[in-house]
Amino acid sequence: MKFEELGVHDDILDAISYMGFKTTTPIQEQAIPEILSGNDLIACAQTGTGKTAAFVIPLLDLILEHPAGETTTLILVPTRELAMQIDQQVQGISYGLGIHSIAIYGGSDGDDWGQQKRALTQGAEIVIATPGKLISHLNLGYVKFDTIKYLILDEADRMLDIGFYEDIIKIISFLPQKRQTLMFSATMAPKIRMLASKILQNPKEINISMSKPAEGVLQAAYLCYDNQKTALINHLIADKPDYNSILIFCSTKKKVTELARALQKNKLSVEPISSDLEQTEREKVLQGFKARRTRILVATDVLSRGIDIKEINLIINYDVPHDAEDYVHRVGRTARADATGVALTLVSDNDMGKFEQIEKLIEKEVIKLPLPGQIGTGPEWNPVKYRRSSARKNFKSRNKGQGQQQKKGKPSGKITLRKKSDQQ
């Protein structure tokens, strides 16, 4: 479907045409008419399907149709990177329309706080915010959201995953009950349904290609041991000199730093990015990668959602993601829209069980490629064997810990699994 068929304002059509939008994606074709009709909406679509434009375009049209000169739209997102991305897209489409937006997120300095306060009190039409930072402003009493007409939760599943449920409910308590609420998510987990039942009124529902990577992604895996991974990545990158945009995901900040240093020693153009960097540093690294000044970006899952970087040639999962859904989001960084891309995952013996769960989720067996001869021999694909082996190791470890406690004359009690602090 062409955007002209949706009936949006001519100035918006001119703007999106200039940005290269020609025909709608499935999520845009289904969501835009529902939003323009004033319906609440819960939409599930995979990463890279154009869902940001699916709500930005109709919202701008509604604001143009009913200009208020005050804050009418609140968009909640899980990360500052996503807040910045949506703000950039709003500004790109609304250029020349006289509609103003502001991104509210943490990690900024005092000058940014003052700018955010002025925008919140003087009425930027669209506010895009992370929940925690927005609550910091709300708690000071100067933010009035009684003019909000449209509430959008983008990457709602991610916000719930990282513990923003209570913050979302608190923010909604500041909003008028009569409003249009839109919820966009890449997954439709039970917790999403629960939140939707609390904040949406008779919503329309859209489901598009849930939990599957885009068709344009060529997926493959290498079975290797942990000590083979860095050498394998060096070989893969050397074997693909024409790939000028490569994104590598690691499970921890420590691994991000170590791998980036190892690749830099080989004179490769590479930068690490994680939450250890200050916001200004992260923005500088991202801009360098987007502008192709940096060929390789090594990242934690902070970049697996909500970052729109076009024409990434190659995604490499240095580690198998802990959650199967995260694989979809990582892989979704390539093959955006109708493009194609390659996604490779390095699967160690201990991670075969997790990768098997990923294959079940995406309903596809990922091809296992042989290791290059110089890398050596890797483990054979046998997720059942290694799953049992891992279970035995965990059992012995737990019993050993209990035995040591009992030998000291202390009750064994419960064993508490500590969360890893070295994430993102």
* Same structural domain, 254 and 203: no
Which distant-in-sequence residues (6+ apart) come within 8 Å of 312 by Cβ?
245, 246, 247, 333, 334, 336, 341
* Same structural domain, 232 and 201: no
**Between 368 and 324, the higher pLDDT residue:** 368
Domain boundary among 149, 181, 208: 208
Q: Is 236 among the domain residues? A: yes
Q: Tens of pLDDT along 132-160?
A: 999 999 999 999 899 999 999 998 988 98
* Same structural domain, 282 and 193: no
Residue-number span of the structural domain to which 251 is assigned: 217-375
pLDDT-wise least confident of 23-32, 139-148, 280-289: 280-289
Question: Rounded to the nearest 10 degrees, what angle do helices 131-138 and 110-122 cross at?
Answer: 70
pLDDT-wise least confident of 41-45, 140-144, 405-409: 405-409
C-alpha closest to that of 89 among 307, 393, 365: 307
Domain boundary among 208, 241, 271: 208
Q: Tens of pLDDT along 213-267?
A: 666 788 999 999 999 999 999 999 988 888 889 999 998 889 999 999 999 998 8
* Same structural domain, 89 and 193: yes
Q: Tens of pLDDT along 110-139?
A: 567 888 888 888 878 999 999 999 999 999
State the CATH number of the domain containing residue 41: 3.40.50.300
Q: What is the pLDDT of residue 378?
A: 94
**Between 83 and 310, the higher pLDDT residue:** 83
384-to-223, 285, 289, 322, 389 alpha-carbon distances in Å: 15, 41, 39, 18, 9
Q: Is 229 among the domain residues? A: yes
pLDDT-wise least confident of 20-24, 129-133, 250-254, 353-357: 20-24
Q: Looking at mean pLDDT, say which of 21-25, 202-206, 330-334 comes out highest.
A: 202-206
Q: For the chain, give the percent of residues with pLDDT over 70.
A: 83
- The token pair that represents 387 in the structure block: 């799953």
Q: Is 67 among the domain residues? A: yes
Q: Is 423 among the domain residues? A: no
Exposure string over 216-255, b if 16+ CB within 10 A, otherwise e: ebebebbbbbeebbbbbbbebbeeeeebebbbbbbbbbeb
Exposure string over 97-122, b if 16+ CB within 10 A, otherwise e: bebbbbbbbeebeeeeeeebeebbee
User: What one-letter code names the amino acid at 145?
Assistant: F
Q: What is the pLDDT of residue 325?
A: 72
For 353-373, what is the mean pLDDT?
Answer: 90
Q: Using 50, 70 and 90 to split pLDDT, how confident is the model at 406?
A: very low
* Same structural domain, 171 and 63: yes
For 378-401, what is the mean pLDDT?
Answer: 64
Q: What is the pLDDT of residue 385?
A: 72
Domain boundary among 182, 208, 234: 208
Q: Is 354 among the domain residues? A: yes
Measured distance CA(160)–CA(166) in Å, rounded: 9
* Same structural domain, 54 and 173: yes
Q: Is the pLDDT at 43 greater than 50, yes or no?
A: yes
* Same structural domain, 130 and 78: yes
C-alpha closest to that of 367 among 221, 218, 215, 213: 221
Q: Using 50, 70 and 90 to split pLDDT, how confident is the model at 42?
A: very high
Bridge partners, residue 150, by sequence: 73, 180
* Same structural domain, 288 and 181: no
* Same structural domain, 182 and 256: no
Give how many domains the chain has, as a whole number: 2
Q: Is 421 among the domain residues? A: no
* Same structural domain, 246 and 150: no
Helix (H, G, I), strand (E, B) or coil at 182: strand
Q: Is 384 among the domain residues? A: no
Q: For the chain, give the percent of residues with pLDDT over 90.
A: 46
Q: What is the pLDDT of residue 392?
A: 52
Q: What is the pLDDT of residue 389?
A: 53
* Same structural domain, 84 and 185: yes
**Between 168 and 408, the higher pLDDT residue:** 168
Q: Is 150 among the domain residues? A: yes
**pTM of the predicted model over 0.85:** no
* Same structural domain, 95 and 238: no
